[in-house]
Amino acid sequence: MNFDLSDESRMLQDGLRRLLSDRYDRATRDAARDAPTGFVPEVWAALAEMGVIGALFPEDAGGFGGTGFDIAVVFEELGRAGAVDPLIDTGVLGGGLLAAFGQGDMLEGVIEGSVQLAFAHGEPGSRYDLSRVETTARRDGDGWVLSGRKAVVVNAPAADHVIVSARTSGEVADRDGISLFLVPAGALDIRAYPLVGGGAAAEIALDDLRAGELLGPEGGAFDAIATASARATLAICAEALGLMETIRGLTTDYLRTRKQFGQPIGKFQVLQHRMADVLIEIEQARSAVINLAGNIDGDDRDRHVSAAKNLIGNAARLVVEESIQMHGGIGMTEEYDLAHLAKRLTMVDHRFGDTLHHLDRFIALSAA
Amino acid sequence: MNLDYTDEQKAFRDEVRAFLDEKLPARLVEKGRAGRAFDKADHEEWHAILNERGWLAGNWPVEFGGTGWDAIQRHIFEDEMTRAGAPRIVPFGLAMLGPVLQKFGSKEQQDYWLPRILAGDDWWCQGYSEPGAGSDLASLRTEAVREGDHYVVNGQKTWTTLGQYANMIFCLVRTSREGKPQEGISFLLIDMDTPGVEVRPIVLLDGSAEVNEVWFSDVRVPVENLVGEENKGWTYAKYLLTHERTNIAGVGFANAGLANLKRIARAEQDGGRPLIRNPHFAARLARVEIDLMAMATTNLRVVSAAAAGQAPGAESSMLKIKGTVLRQEINALTRTAIGPYAMPFQSEAVEGTNEEAIGPDYAGPVTAQYLNNRKLSIYGGSNEVQRAIIAKSLLEL
Ligand SMILES: Cc1cc2nc3c(=O)[nH]c(=O)nc-3n(C[C@H](O)[C@H](O)[C@H](O)COP(=O)(O)OP(=O)(O)OC[C@H]3O[C@@H](n4cnc5c(N)ncnc54)[C@H](O)[C@@H]3O)c2cc1C
């Protein structure tokens, strides 16, 4: 048993931490917020140059990493910095699906940092259910016609290509019969908007759209979608962990320095105890991320996905609410760093399934 | 024991309902339901309608132009107001300053300021908190130095709710550094148009701008604007804080929030059935509702005791904690209920623009409300401070 990172992982971690602490100042975050894409291209270029995108993929896909621990290291650092760059969307989801279906050329562009992707899977009524796809695709000559609605497609405003899921056969919640289509973003009708906690997304209306090519086997995309989502869940859990660590640091600093009644508020035992509980839950979150990272390619993957996402959803809420509360009024202000971090951490529960979804899923998988 | 209202109270309730049916502008109800913030004109419009009926000052005695209602009547009125979706009555002049002036103000102050509050001539804000004085309010440093027939005020207040609309601010200021910190505080009324007053907005994490910093540099305030005696302001402020606040539990807000949550949970689909049928979601919802049913009665018990003349003390701390935690849980569950549509930043919910909502209509304001209502357990005496009060005065620890 060894819980130390490998030397390569440690170098990646150090380098990325340095890059982000140099790059992620207030001005960058404001620029990202004001950009229609929700991020700053220079930061993206720097991430690509450092090899951060390549670290998400194994060598046979043109990367130099791709293990669960590689993903965990990268995203914990992004979280620590409160970074908003669409590495989950272009990298883990989009890149992961390209890799699954042998799209080496475009994946090379992703790893170099020249291609942006989005994965349009969720729909207005699908909530967090991966197999619930109502959007349809039907053959038309040698092309396809797509119809339906895609909801909260993160990074769609920046994407060069959008990978759209659609049903080519089966019933609305069947796993079989789901296909993927690679659609040039220019062909899409999107309504773009910013996200709480940073980044941008869009609603996509597919009204008999004749565009895009089939990606992977017709009707047989579910397993690849589940794998990409599992890895994306690992990524967002690790990001949440990094966010929690930074928030914990901010809050303990504040408890040490803020004085009321002639003493630092951190001297009040009631706050000490609550901060101790926060620390315990963050350590639990770290262990859940480690469990998931170690099992991401294993047989028990899905139970670990749900265990981690459930635990982290609960921990995130505790960390957000306690840290705001213990800051008092300052914790409510947009200007203070906590606001961004707390909002980003709060939104973690709304992607790839919330605590409730994963509780149900964990129970179902454990009973099987 | 009898849980029903008396016939008289029921008749009063029907009268309030009929009034609200007839007079509450639908536009305001819609705005509130859509989660958009009321602006100054909205509040003024509604205050004027209530004032015309003589129902604006629910907690003032008749002699000052109030309703003279007892605690039960006030409760019924507030309950019906929230049920109907009316904007809340802005508390600063009516619920906070008014009672202080009635008890401690001079005859001239009462005659001048109270009718202006009713008529909406002044918009008051509350200047207590400072950057260095939050929970430890008595450590406040904004200073007022007597020079002839004026006080000269220097310092800074913060978190001043709706200060951007206000022309008047009631402040706690330091007039002496002798003795205990509480003994050198005075209660001063300051015209915000006086040279040297500056208001700067603070944006909150949901994007709203409801609080402000207020700066005073060499602001000259006539001595007539001192309420009561110099260095007695702490007593007046405490009177205001412990002045029976029947609405502190926010039962009406919680009920409205719960009804909205249920509506959403019925509309949202989860795995092919309505979310409200998901047993784990339903369990959390039920826990809130069970708690709320009991809290409504706890609230009524306190209200009844107040109507019988007992001034509630630490009971209001209890109601404040339970009420705010419940409302926050309802906000959190509502956020859970809307699923991925919690993520879009819906600026129309915050800024009142007319863009179409992203996702279902009901999703628009939910995340902003969750974030904004973290304030409930911070302001008005944080929940930690309230627990300390309970421990001290109810438990005698
Ligand atoms: C949205 C909003 C609106 C407001 N509106 C107004 C207004 O209109 N007018 C006005 O005057 N003020 C207003 N306030 C200020 C509010 O009353 C203060 O925020 C509150 O009193 C807490 O003070 P603080 O923010 O300085 O936090 P602090 O007092 O610094 O508290 C920080 C944390 O320490 C805890 N703490 C402090 N002392 C103790 C203790 N002894 N034991 C245990 N824990 C402790 C607190 O509970 C809190 O969790 C508003 C605040 C907000 C957020």
Q: Can you tell me which atom of ligand 1 is nearest the CA of B157?
A: 11
Verify that B249 and B387 share a domain, yes or no: yes
Q: Can you tell me which atom of ligand 1 is nearest the CA of B383?
A: 47
Cβ of residue A269 closer than 8 Å to a chain B Cβ = no
Query: Is the CB of B374 less than 8 angstroms away from the CB of A331?
Result: yes
Per the rule left: phi > 0, alpha: psi between -120 and 50, beta: everything else, B198 is beta
Which among A124, A129, A259 has the least Cβ separation from residue B271? Answer: A129
Q: Is residue B102 part of a domain?
A: no
Q: Which A residues in the span 61-100 are in contact with B, Cβ-Cβ below 8 Å?
A: none
pLDDT for residue B200: 97
Query: Is the CB of A328 less than 8 angstroms away from the CB of B382?
Result: yes
pLDDT for residue A339: 97
Q: How far is A73 from chain B (nearest CA, A)?
A: 25
Q: Is residue B263 part of a domain?
A: yes
Verify that B199 and B311 share a domain, yes or no: no
Query: Is the CB of B378 less than 8 angstroms away from the CB of A260?
Result: no
Verify that B278 and B174 share a domain, yes or no: no
For B172-192, the pLDDT digits (tens) are 999 999 999 999 999 999 999
Q: Which A residues in the span 286-315 are in contact with B, Cβ-Cβ below 8 Å?
A: none
Query: Is the CB of B136 less than 8 angstroms away from the CB of A260?
Result: yes
Paired with A182 in beta bridges are A163, A213
Q: Is residue B361 part of a domain?
A: yes
Q: Can you tell me which atom of ligand 1 is nearest the CA of B136?
A: 29
- Domain that includes residue B155, residue range: 122-230
Q: Can you tell me which atom of ligand 1 is nearest the CA of B382?
A: 47
User: Which CATH number is associated with domain A119-219?
Assistant: 2.40.110.10
Nearest CA to ligand 1 atom 42: A268
DSSP designation for A95: I
Interface test with A, best of B208, B345, B382, B392 (most A CBs within 10 A): B345
End position of a domain, from candidates B89, B114, B136: B89
**Predicted complex ipTM:** 0.97
Query: In terms of C-beta density within 10 A (0-12 exposed, 13-18 middle, 19 or more buried), how is residue A108 classed?
Result: middle
Taking contacts as CB-CB distances below 8 angstroms, the residues of chain B near A197 are 343
| The CATH number, out of the four listed (3.40.630.30, 1.10.150.20, 2.60.40.10, 1.20.140.10), of the domain defined by the range A223-367 | 1.20.140.10
Verify that B130 and B223 share a domain, yes or no: yes
Q: Which of B372, B378, B386 to mutate to test the pocket of ligand 1 (most atoms within 8 A of CB)?
A: B378
Q: Can you tell me which atom of ligand 1 is nearest the CA of B204?
A: 1
Interface test with A, best of B378, B385, B387, B389 (most A CBs within 10 A): B378
Taking contacts as CB-CB distances below 8 angstroms, the residues of chain A near B379 are 329
Indicate the pairing of strand B143-147 with strand B150-157.
antiparallel
Question: Is B45 designated active site?
Answer: no
Q: How far is B171 from chain A (nearest CA, A)?
A: 19
Verify that B279 and B318 share a domain, yes or no: yes
Q: How far is B394 from chain A (nearest CA, A)?
A: 18
Which among B202, B343, B377 has the least Cβ separation from residue A325? Answer: B377
Query: Is the CB of B359 less than 8 angstroms away from the CB of A343?
Result: no
Taking contacts as CB-CB distances below 8 angstroms, the residues of chain A near B134 are 260, 328-329
Q: Do domains A7-116 and A119-219 have the same CATH topology?
A: no
With a threshold of 0.90, does the pTM exceed it? yes
Q: Is residue B113 part of a domain?
A: no
Which among A195, A334, A354 has the least Cβ separation from residue B345? Answer: A195
CATH of the domain at B54: 1.10.540.10
Q: Is residue B173 part of a domain?
A: yes
Taking contacts as CB-CB distances below 8 angstroms, the residues of chain B near A254 are none
pLDDT for residue A6: 87
Verify that B215 and B307 share a domain, yes or no: no
pLDDT for residue B348: 63
Q: What is the 3-state secondary structure (H, E, C) of B242-283?
A: HCCCHHHHCHHHHHHHHHHHHHHHHHCEECCEEHHHCHHHHH
Count of domains observed in chain B: 3
- The set of protein residues with a Cβ atom below 6 angstroms from ligand 1 is A 258, 260-261, 265, 268, 270-271, 325-326, 328-329, 332; B 126-129, 134-135, 159-161, 211, 375, 378-379, 382, 384-385, 388
Q: Residue ranges of the domains in chain A?
A: 7-116, 119-219, 223-367
Q: How far is CA A363 from CA A310, A360, B120, in A?
A: 11, 5, 58
Nearest CA to ligand 1 atom 27: A328
Taking contacts as CB-CB distances below 8 angstroms, the residues of chain B near A151 are 340-341, 359
CATH of the domain at B358: 1.20.140.10
CATH of the domain at B203: 2.40.110.10
What is the pLDDT tens value at each position of chain A, 368 positions in all?
788 888 888 999 999 999 999 988 889 999 999 999 999 999 999 999 999 999 999 999 999 999 999 999 999 999 999 999 999 999 999 999 999 999 999 999 999 999 999 999 999 999 999 999 999 999 999 999 999 999 999 999 999 999 999 999 999 999 999 999 999 999 999 999 999 999 999 999 999 999 889 999 999 999 999 999 999 999 999 999 999 999 999 999 999 999 999 999 999 999 999 999 999 999 999 999 999 999 999 999 999 999 999 999 999 999 999 999 999 999 999 999 999 999 999 999 999 999 999 999 999 999 97
Q: Is residue B108 part of a domain?
A: no
Cβ of residue A138 closer than 8 Å to a chain B Cβ = no
Query: In terms of C-beta density within 10 A (0-12 exposed, 13-18 middle, 19 or more buried), how is residue B312 classed?
Result: buried
Q: Which two tokens stand for residue A233?
A: 């869940």
Q: Is residue B72 part of a domain?
A: yes
Verify that B254 and B389 share a domain, yes or no: yes
Which among B139, B202, B342 has the least Cβ separation from residue A333? Answer: B202
pLDDT for residue A219: 97
Cβ of residue A122 closer than 8 Å to a chain B Cβ = yes
Query: Is the CB of A261 less than 8 angstroms away from the CB of B135?
Result: yes
Cβ of residue A362 closer than 8 Å to a chain B Cβ = no
The letter for the amino acid at A125 is G
Which among B271, B343, B360 has the least Cβ separation from residue A196? Answer: B343
Cβ of residue A261 closer than 8 Å to a chain B Cβ = yes
- The DSSP H or E segment spanning A19 is helix A7-23
pLDDT for residue B45: 97
Verify that B382 and B252 share a domain, yes or no: yes
pLDDT for residue B341: 98
Q: Is residue B382 part of a domain?
A: yes
A33-59 burial code (b ≥16 CB/10 A, e <16): bebebbbbeebbebbbebbbbbbbbee
Q: Which residues contact A288 (CB under 8 A, 6 or more apart)?
A: A237, A307, A308, A311, A312
Which among B211, B280, B335 has the least Cβ separation from residue A360? Answer: B280
Nearest CA to ligand 1 atom 26: B134
Verify that B67 and B130 share a domain, yes or no: no
Q: Which member of B244, B268, B315, B329 is catalytic?
A: B244
User: What residue of A is the nearest CA neighbor of B335?
Assistant: A350
What is the pLDDT tens value at each position of chain B, 397 positions in all?
888 899 999 999 999 999 999 999 999 999 988 888 899 999 999 999 999 999 999 999 999 999 999 988 998 999 999 999 999 999 999 999 999 999 999 999 999 999 999 999 999 999 999 999 999 999 999 999 999 999 999 999 999 999 999 999 999 999 999 999 999 999 999 999 999 999 999 999 999 999 999 999 999 999 999 999 999 999 999 888 766 565 788 998 999 999 999 999 999 999 999 999 999 999 999 999 999 999 999 998 988 888 787 777 788 899 999 999 999 999 999 999 999 999 999 876 545 555 678 999 999 999 999 999 999 999 989 999 999 999 999 999 9
DSSP designation for A220: B
- Determine the Cα–Cα distance for residues A61 and B357; give it in Å rounded to an integer: 41
Taking contacts as CB-CB distances below 8 angstroms, the residues of chain A near B203 are 333-335
| The CATH number, out of the four listed (1.10.3720.10, 3.30.70.380, 3.40.640.10, 1.10.540.10), of the domain defined by the range A7-116 | 1.10.540.10
Verify that B251 and B196 share a domain, yes or no: no
